[in-house]
Amino acid sequence: MADFAAVDVIRAKRDGAALSDAQVDWVVDAYTRGQVADEQMAALAMAILLNGMTAPEIARWTAAMISSGERLDLSAVDRPTVDKHSTGGVGDKITLPLTPLVAACGAAVPQLSGRGLGHTGGTLDKLESIPGWRASLGNEEFIAQLRGVGAVICAAGAGLAPADRKLYALRDVTGTVEAIPLIASSIMSKKIAEGTGALVLDVKVGSGAFMKSVDQARQLARTMVELGGAQGVHTVALLTDMSTPLGLAIGNAVEVTESVEVLAGGGPADVVELTLALAREMLDAAGLPDADPAAALRDGRAMDAWRAMLRAQGGDPDAQLPTAREVEVVRADESGVVAQVDAYGMGVAAWRLGAGRARKEDAVSAPAGVLLHKRPGDPVRAGEPLFELRAEDADRIPEARKEAVRAVRIAASAPEKRPLVLERIS
């Protein structure tokens, strides 16, 4: 591999030049090995944020991130493999019912998931509210569970895209998280390295999402779809609304409870709608277009796969989930129609209650969170419950209440209904 001076690579991107393949390969490898210092990579990340990258640059950067570690071989799995990635939102528990549902329909789902940060929740945090469940699996366990159960939700192993792990932590503290080339390469390097044959992306749009506008979300989705195709992974993206929380539960244990309701054939209509929309996309991408995920929810196959998946990772599907010591119900002070339940505001409220973390090393509270009693479009009378706040520590409730109250708006008439799936990109 050619050798470069880090400062020359930084200057090139600072001045708007496209980095060569050799420069990209060198800087990613050298940073992973510690030859390029954090402050140098921070400067390069800021230059990328400000000046962008061409499509070939992003593709090469992603390939270099993948090459920084191992790439799992799932050829021993005797089902088609397909994964899903969400860019994160409030009340977004879709991975929990979706993974066993798609497995129940004949595919294998190697779902590598993460933890929550700020106002968005993390799938691993939610599942860890189930007694005994463990997030860490070795590669052999991972493949054996895919072969046996067809569904795995776990943390990414240390050997997958180590360059991304290091760069992600740096972006978080240097104001460069928003760079679309770096977001796209971060997500896709991990997903491609896990070895899946197909991938469906759920790119969130709205106040509770990372991407606030449809144009931003579309740009990110198109970039990731192209990156997947370049690496031989059939990739499709849905842009979905995140202006309102998904479902009625926001937190960890409360979202597990709601997910089980969906697997039992019930649950909030929006959670069911998005779970089925993504399941159909995943099954189509896996070459199983005739499978019927709605039938697998009705007949109990999805629930069976959920229970088997939990048991395989040490979890007890029948265990009592932790409950909050402190519960406060907030009631409407006027009558009308709920015009808004802002996703960001409710996400911040759940975070203040202890359901989220400010730093990656922080602990989260399993029982903390928000339960909505009303959603946009619902009529409400003065004195009726709007939502309830749950916490282990009563001192957390006042600030959370302020955030949550600001997030709800009551009006004289119902808001215009916004579709949940906004666009499909393939």
pLDDT (tens digit, 9 = 90+) per residue, 245-260? Answer: 999 999 999 999 999 9
Question: What is the reported pLDDT for 178?
Answer: 85
Residue 318 burial (CB count, 10 A)? 8
> The CATH number of 82-312 is which of 3.40.50.620, 3.40.1030.10, 3.50.50.60, 3.40.50.2300?
3.40.1030.10
Strand 379-380 to strand 336-341: parallel, antiparallel, or no bridges (unpaired)? antiparallel
Catalytic residue among 164, 202, 241, 342: 164
Which member of 60, 93, 115, 171 is catalytic?
Answer: 171
Residue 160 and residue 70 in contact, taking contact as beta carbons nearer than 8 Å: yes
pLDDT at 383: 98
pLDDT value of position 120: 81
25: left (phi over 0), alpha (psi -120 to 50) or beta: alpha
pLDDT digits (tens, 9 = 90+) for 42-81: 999 999 999 999 999 999 999 999 999 999 999 999 999 9
Instruction: Kindly tell me if the per-residue pLDDT of 300 is higher than 90.
Output: yes
Mean per-residue pLDDT for 144-173?
91
Instruction: Evaluate whether 82-312 and 326-411 have a shared fold.
Output: no
- What pLDDT does residue 94 have? 97
Calculate the average pLDDT of the chain.
95
The sign of the CA dihedral 72, 2, 167, 64 is negative
Quick check: 115 and 124 in contact, CB under 8 A?
Answer: yes
Rg (C-alpha) for the chain, rounded Å, is 22
- DSSP conformation class of 196: -
Does 85 qualify as catalytic in the annotation? yes
Identify the residue with better confidence: 8 or 357: 8
> Among this protein's residues, is 311 annotated catalytic?
no
Tell me the domain boundaries of the chain: 6-52, 82-312, 326-411
What are the distances in angstroms from CA 95 to CA 287, 312, 395? 20, 17, 32
325 in active site: no
- In one letter, which amino acid is 410? I
Among 113, 129, 186, 365, the one annotated catalytic: 186
Q: Would residue 119 show up in a list of annotated catalytic residues for this protein?
A: no
Average pLDDT over residues 296-305: 98
Q: 6-52: CATH homologous superfamily?
A: Transferase, Pyrimidine Nucleoside Phosphorylase; Chain C (1.20.970.10)
The alpha carbon of residue 169 and the mean position of all alpha carbons in its chain are separated, in whole angstroms, by: 17
Query: What's the confidence (pLDDT) of residue 171?
Result: 87
pLDDT number for residue 169: 82
pLDDT at 3 over 90: no
Q: How confident is the model at residue 361 (pLDDT cuts 50, 70, 90)?
A: confident
pLDDT value at position 44?
97
CATH number of 326-411: 3.90.1170.30
Predicted confidence at residue 334, as pLDDT, reads 97
Q: Looking at 84, 85, 126, 218, which residue is catalytic?
A: 85
Residue type present at position 181: P
CA 279 from centre of chain: 15
Respond yes or no: is residue 373 known to be catalytic. Answer: no
Would you state the pLDDT for residue 104? 98
Question: How much is the pTM?
Answer: 0.94
Catalytic residue among 190, 301, 307, 396: 190
